Amino acid sequence: MSNNQGWQQQGWQGQPQSWQEQQGRPGQQQGWAGPPPGQGPQHWNRGQQRKSWPRRHPVLLTFLIFSGVLVLGVGGCTAILGAAISENDKNHSVAGVEADKSGDTTGQNAADEGDAGSGLPDGVYRFGSTVKFGDGSTLQVGKPVKFKRDEFAAGGEDFKHAVKVKLTFTNGTKKTFDPTLTTGNITSGDREGDSIFQDGLDAPDNKILPGRKITWWMGYGVDNPKDLTLDVSVGFLDYDDVIFTNSKSAP
């Protein structure tokens, strides 16, 4: 008699479908008390659980793709920003120097200038020069002239000499330019000079339309009018600083 026939005579119907049916039910008839400790049903499907992990790969793949796109995007933005900054620096740096066009620096009030010389370092020019920026704008700085402080002047009291410098900025762009916070610092010999504030000596505040220019004077107390170095910054971080000098010690 076959096993199947035996099971059918004992009331067992059909072919066993699973290990549980093969082992669980007959075992229960023989007094089987269940699986050993730690070997419950959660362990029977462990092999199946191991096989299910590749289903998570699409999530990991999506994350990697997103990370790659993000890195490429940041890199592209950085390159574009770098190019924009480079172009901006090019426009606002000094592109050259024009001939002396200042017609107001002659006469008995003109401070004596050192030897003209040549071969000045980059970014350093003689008083009376006109420099041109990359965007077409220009800055003209005349030769320092002596002046007398008025009774209401402030600053420069500790210096023997007072000089003033005329500056002219021409807006060579197609946009309105705001010269607010334009500054100038002067050195006389080995000592820093001091700004003098009085009527007629002040940096510009009015905006400059395209193609227009503005002129202003700045005054300083100095030790030696024959040995001056002026550092001019037009606007607030708008253009590179430009240095003018009459020093004999300059190359």
Question: What CATH code is carried by the domain that includes residue 131?
Answer: 2.60.40.1240
Asked whether residue 186 is domain-assigned, the answer is yes
Using 50, 70 and 90 to split pLDDT, how confident is the model at 237?
A: confident
Q: Residue 61 domain-assigned?
A: no
| pLDDT beyond 70 at 177 | yes
Instruction: Examine residue 84 and state whether it is found in any structural domain, yes or no.
Output: no
Structure tokens at 21: 């049916």
Q: Give the structural domain span for 222.
A: 94-245
pLDDT: is 94 or 38 the higher one?
Answer: 94
In a domain, 225, yes or no: yes
DSSP annotation of 24 reads I
What dihedral angle (degrees, nearest 10) is formed by the CA atoms of 73, 78, 84, 85?
170
Q: What percent of the chain has pLDDT over 90?
A: 47
pLDDT for the residue 123: 83
DSSP assignment string, 189-219: TTEE-EEEBBTTB----S-B-TT-EEEEEEE
Is 3 a domain residue? no
Mean per-residue pLDDT for 226-249? 93
What is the rounded CA–CA span in Å between residue 92 and residue 178? 14
Query: If you average pLDDT over each of 36-40, 50-54, 115-119, 144-148, which comes out highest?
Result: 144-148
- Residue-level pLDDT at 110: 39
Average pLDDT over residues 105-134: 67
Region 155-163 average pLDDT: 96
Rounded to 5 degrees, what angle do the CA atoms 126, 130, 133 make? 115
Structure confidence at residue 97 (pLDDT): 59
**How sure is the predictor about 27, in pLDDT bands with cuts at 50, 70 and 90?**
very low
pLDDT at position 248, please?
Answer: 82
Cα(155)–Cα(136) distance, rounded to whole angstroms?
Answer: 35
Query: Which neighbouring-strand residues pair with 162?
Result: 221
Average pLDDT of the chain, as a whole number: 75
Q: For the chain, what percent of residues have pLDDT higher than 70?
A: 53
The token duo for 52 is: 């299910």
As for how many domains the chain has, the answer is 1
CA distance 28 to 12: 14
Read off the pLDDT of each residue in 125-130 and give the average, rounded to a whole number: 96
The pLDDT value recorded for residue 249 is 74
Residue 101 confidence class, pLDDT cut points 50, 70, 90: very low
pTM of the model: 0.60
DSSP H or E run through 243: strand 242-245
Q: How do the residues of the chain divide into helix, strand and coil, expressed in percent and rounded to 5?
A: 25, 25, 45
Where do we find the tokens 């030897």? Answer: 115
Instruction: Give the model's pLDDT for residue 74.
Output: 57
